[in-house]
Chains A and B, each alone.
Chain A
Amino acid sequence: MAGKAITYTAAQIAKLGKDNIPAELLSGHGLVYSSPATLAYNSPGAEGFGVKRAGLAVPESVMLIVSPGCCGRNTSIVSSMPQYKDRFFYLLMDETDLVTGRHLKRIPEAVCEVVSFLDGQKGKKPKVVMICITCVDALLGTDMERVCTACENALGNGTRVRPCYMYALTREGRRPPMVHVRQTLYSLLEPMDKDPKSVNIIGNFAPLEDGELQRYLTEAGVKHIRQVSTCGTYEEFLNMASANFNIVTNPEARASAHDMSQRLGIPYIELTRIHDVERTAAQYKAFANAVGIEIDLSEDEARAKEAVGSLKESFPDLSFNIGECLNADPFELALSLVRYGFKVDEIYGTLAPEKFRYVSRLAELSPDTKIFCNMEPTMLYYDMSASRAHISLGKDAAFYCPNIPNVAWNSDIQPFGFQGITKLMETIKQTMKEARA
């Protein structure tokens, strides 16, 4: 067995059933390989959003990372980006801290010194200090709410202090780090009067690409469409509490939306990023019915269909390998492409029971599609020589398939809806044309 990456076909997985997905394809079962996708999750660096970048999505915030030195080490990549200059600070723990927990008493002093440093030398007093703690404090059972209250009392100037939990230990838990950090961000919002013409889009830490969703809302009379990443100031961010409703575009924001509905009285509706034109249209129609607005999809839908048709006409037998470092669910995207009549040779993703429905349908249409798990140790031996794909999608797929064209499709700005489908199809077509020129 040594020397070969473990894989299963869609048909094999479908036959085994949702409750018997092979352990090698699931997260949290064996040793973990540092594939590009694993690193993008565990060590996001300058690309993508991990807890550190996400915690600083709130305007005018800074972060104090309280941890052993190893946890903050790779932050130097992010710190070198202009928008993060003077926003990361560190309180390094030593072995005595670990044994005695004495570092907790030092946090208020450190927060005061950071705020004083920024106010005095840099002339920019932060509105929020995020305190990022890691696995050590997870195991010590640290009560960070209490520590943050002590920090706010020590500052005594209204600066908010909130905890961010960078607990890799809880990746498969009920509240994994990327769910929790979203809850932290929106917990800063305070109840305020509702503005019926305000809507929030919550889901990611970079904005949704300006597209048809915003246009539909504007045409329906919405005046303010807010996203955390487009708020220029902390005050503007606080106005998100006035929203009439929230649109959730990423399941990791569902818990935050639920919190906001309970605490601020803001209801929410969830929209999924899908790559099937007809299903996208059906979702928008259901959305319009639910919120009581009328929207005209015809032009956007036609444009997306045309883009799919044009790609199909230019490259009718196109075959894909799809990774998971991209702005799409690789299993959903694979299914949509197969439905359009393309082929999907390989998927590099981490399967979860909730994604089984895609694999189950894929097994009917493309039973031989191979599925690899990015976390599986044998991916060390992955060899693409057996693949017949013409193009790969996703940044990690480029790593596995260096000899075929690639569309990374992993920008911070999030594609969505018909516009997302249209742009993806056009980008694939352009990339293939250039590769074959």
Chain B
Amino acid sequence: MKGLRKVLTPFAPDQSGAVSVLYGLGGLIVIIDAGGCTGNICGFDEPRWQDVRSAVFSAGLRDMDAILGRDKLLVSKIADACKRIDASFVALIGTPVPATIATDYKALKRMLENEISLPILTVPTDGMKLYDEGEALAYKALADEFVSKDGGLEKIVLGKTPLTYGSDFEDNALDDYRRIGASTKTVAASASGIEAAKKLGVSYEVYSSAAAKIAGSIPSGKVLVCHDEVFGKTLRDKGIDCDIATFFTLHDEIRKACDRKITEEDEFTDLVMNGGYDIVVADESLKPLAEGFGGMWIDAPFFALSGRR
């Protein structure tokens, strides 16, 4: 049945992706929710929360705030926090609540700009899309607000967040985004990195260092890679003859005829069991969907998918 999960837990949502990109940039990040969405991010999807504090707050919406559309109250809460929290910008992150009440982000931005002398970023995530789309929206918000062609930046890696690569993530500084337009080398490490580079209009290399590391350990045979598309593409570039399947974005520039964008549990089961593969490279949390698969399974941890650290 479409949308029914009997084995897997939900994947990292777009709002987690958005925070993943903005975390550590020195902003005051306000998740427009009642508390649960922020709890999911700080308590689960954002591993840096345990080690490095960042000003990530819940808007603390209550039912009547949402029903009556109390935007002025929200603006007042944020303005009050800005007096007491040092921040270089304010980012508003959407969740299902503003999606339900059709929050006008442009209006919120204008209202805040009248109260606060900081750049205001709005990221219209809704908790129903996947993390890579939220990451792409956050990159877009950064690009719209900060990017210039001034200054030289030797190299920047985009899309290498903890949600795709766990502890092997790579942070950028806010200043990197200010100078990204003059970057001599841009690496797109995941689907959101490709989107970001496209938005910026810079040339980029598609490369996953995590995939490159395991390429040598994959024996010959018919291989299915189920991970981020860049992970699969890098393996292919390293000489692995593989098909790519992904629950996340699959860009046309990566996709070959044998590749698949999948959505449901059953699709993955069908692919593995009937695709004639000798080897599957994927997070082992997917294994219960392929009970009876007789080939080799190479574990490729993918936090956004399994929540495994």
Contacts and interface: CB of A to CB of B under 8 A. Distances in A.
Interface of A: 1-3, 6, 28-34, 38-39, 41-43, 45, 67-77, 79, 88-95, 98, 103, 106, 109-110, 113-114, 117, 134-136, 138-140, 166-173, 375, 377-378, 380
Contact of B3 (A31, A92, A378): A92
A169 B3 contact: no
B30 interface: yes
Nearest to B53: A380
Interface stretch (B5-13, B146-154, B164-172, B184-192): B5-13
B85 interface: yes
A38 B41 CA distance: 12
A113 B43 contact: no
Given A38-B58, A43-B42, 18 more contacts: A1-B83, A31-B77, A34-B57, A39-B43, A42-B35, A68-B13, A69-B128, A71-B96, A73-B12, A74-B44, A77-B307, A92-B10, A92-B128, A98-B126, A134-B96, A167-B63, A171-B34, A380-B85
Given A42-B43, A43-B42, A169-B63, A70 B85 contact: no
Given A1-B83, A42-B43, A168 B96 contact: no
B77 A34 contact: no
A34 B33 contact: no
A41 B35 contact: yes
Interface string B285-309: 0000000000000000000001100
11 contacts: A31-B81, A32-B59, A34-B57, A73-B45, A74-B45, A92-B128, A113-B4, A168-B35, A168-B36, A377-B84, A380-B53
Interface stretch (B97-105, B174-182, B226-234): B97-105
A6 B84 contact: yes
A70 B10 contact: yes
B295 to A, nearest CB: 22
Contacts of B58: 31-32, 34, 38, 42
A42 B49 CA distance: 15
> Which of A1, A3, A39, A117 has the most C-beta atoms of chain B within 10 angstroms of its own C-beta?
A39
Given A31-B81, A90-B10, A170 B42 contact: no
Interface of B: 1, 3-6, 9-16, 30, 33-40, 42-45, 49, 53, 55-63, 66-67, 77-78, 80-81, 83-86, 95-97, 99-101, 126-128, 130, 306-307
A70 B96 CA distance: 9
Interface of B is mostly: mixed
Contacts of A79: 9
Contacts of B15: 70
Which A-B residue pairs are the 7 nearest by beta carbons? Answer: A43-B39, A42-B39, A70-B127, A43-B43, A168-B34, A70-B13, A34-B42
A144 to B, nearest CB: 16
Contacts of A77: 44, 307
Contacts of B61: 169
Given A2-B85, A45-B44, A380-B85, A136 B100 contact: yes
Contacts of B6: 89, 113-114, 117
Contact of B62 (A30, A41, A140, A171): A171
Contacts of B81: 30-31, 377
B35 A38 contact: yes
Contacts of B4: 89-92, 110, 113-114
A6 B80 CA distance: 13
A110 B3 CA distance: 9
B3 A73 contact: no
Nearest to A111: B4
Contact of A74 (B43, B67, B130): B43
Contact of B10 (A72, A95, A139, A173): A72
A226 to B, nearest CB: 32
Contacts of B100: 98, 135-136, 139-140
* Interface hub of B14, B33, B57, B86 (most chain A Cβ within 10 A): B57
Contacts of A93: 3, 128
A380 B38 contact: no
A113 B1 contact: yes
B265 to A, nearest CB: 10
Given A31-B30, A76-B307, A70 B56 contact: no
Contact of A69 (B10, B30, B59): B10
A42 B57 contact: no
Contact of B38 (A42, A113, A140): A42
Nearest to B38: A34
Contacts of B306: 76
A172 B62 contact: yes
Contacts of A67: 96
Contacts of A1: 83-84
Contacts of A73: 9-13, 16, 40, 44-45, 307
A42 B56 CA distance: 14
B298 to A, nearest CB: 21
